[in-house]
Amino acid sequence: MTLLEALVLGLVQGLTEFIPISSTAHLRIIPALLGWEDPGAAASAVIQIGTLLAVVIYFWRDLLNMAGAWVRGIIRGKPFQDMHSRMAWFIILGTIPIAILGLVFKDYIETTARGLWIISVALIVLAIVLMISERSAARRQTLRDVDSITFGDAASIGAGQALALIPGVSRSGSTITMALFRGLSHAAAARFSFLLSVPAIGASGLFELVGEWDHLSALGWKPILLATVVAFISGWLSIWFLLRYLRTHTTTIFIYYRIVLGVLILALLGGGWLR
């Protein structure tokens, strides 16, 4: 991996990780369009550590409050005593599906599922489902805030996050979709999606860092570090943008983008211009 590739991939990772357009899809599509080698799932997961740091720093107060309330709740024998402790349990519950399925289907996810045909179809399919969830949200008279999240919400959104193991689905896209189906507002859906990403991204990045050390060393640690730093900066900006955007907008623009990109890649694949 050259430093130019690292710069581009880090920027792409950070900008697309939290916007519902799939970072994995873009980390496959852009190198393919530019004639670069696929950096692989391991490199993508490690670069994601940069976006993990962006979430941790952006939401450090929330995370600190949840961790403290979770510990106090266990010590006092009242694990669900306040919203912060309940939110911590919601994050744990929502992480279980992706942790289990990620380990079970690891080899398939990192090989066959990274094919551009699968990614293109996934882009379009999730766009359609997200569109349906938007219509479902529009029919509701009121949408709920993040403080109203229940265990049922956490389980459903966690199941949605597990679907993001399919490259092209988008972790933020699938979690926001499920949150809208559950009646959460766009801002609440995005906020919970960001918080839910912390253990999933952290575990994935550390797992690949340890398990694929030789592969990562072959790519070069300097470009990986550069990509991770760029992903952190662009990821922080992406969080800032999306939280503000969804206060007054829906995800419609991202739905259209996903469909256009998916159709374009299918056309390029079908015409033999892309492999």
Report the pLDDT value the prediction gives residue 235, as an integer from 0 to 100: 94
Least Cα distance to 69 among 60, 55, 57, 80 occurs for 80
Domain hosting 106: range is 3-270
Contact call for residues 265 and 45 (beta carbons, < 8 A): no
Nearest 5°: the CA angle 161, 163, 169 is: 100
Q: Kindly state whether residue 251 falls inside one of the protein's structural domains.
A: yes
Residue position matching structure tokens 């090989």? 111
In a domain, 118, yes or no: yes
Q: Is the dihedral of CA 42, 211, 216, 6 positive or negative?
A: positive
Query: Is residue 264 one of the residues assigned to a domain?
Result: yes
Question: pLDDT averaged over consecutive 10-residue blocks of the chain (275 residues)?
Answer: 90 92 91 85 80 94 95 92 94 96 88 91 97 95 92 96 94 96 96 94 80 75 90 95 94 97 95 82
Hey, what are 267's tokens? 């056309």
Going through 105-231 in order, the beta strands assigned E by DSSP cover none
- Comparing CA positions, the residue from 78, 64, 66 lying closest to residue 149 is 66
Evaluate whether residue 153 is within a structural domain: yes
Q: How many domains does the chain have?
A: 1
pLDDT digit string, tens, across residues 144-201: 999 999 999 999 999 999 999 999 999 999 999 999 999 999 999 999 999 999 999 8
| In-domain check, residue 42 | yes
Does residue 275 lie in a domain region?
no
* Inter-residue long-range contacts of 30-37, CB under 8 Å, 24+ positions, other chains counted: 31/5, 32/116, 32/274, 32/275, 33/274, 34/8, 36/5
Give helix 23-34 / helix 3-17 axis angle, nearest 10°: 150
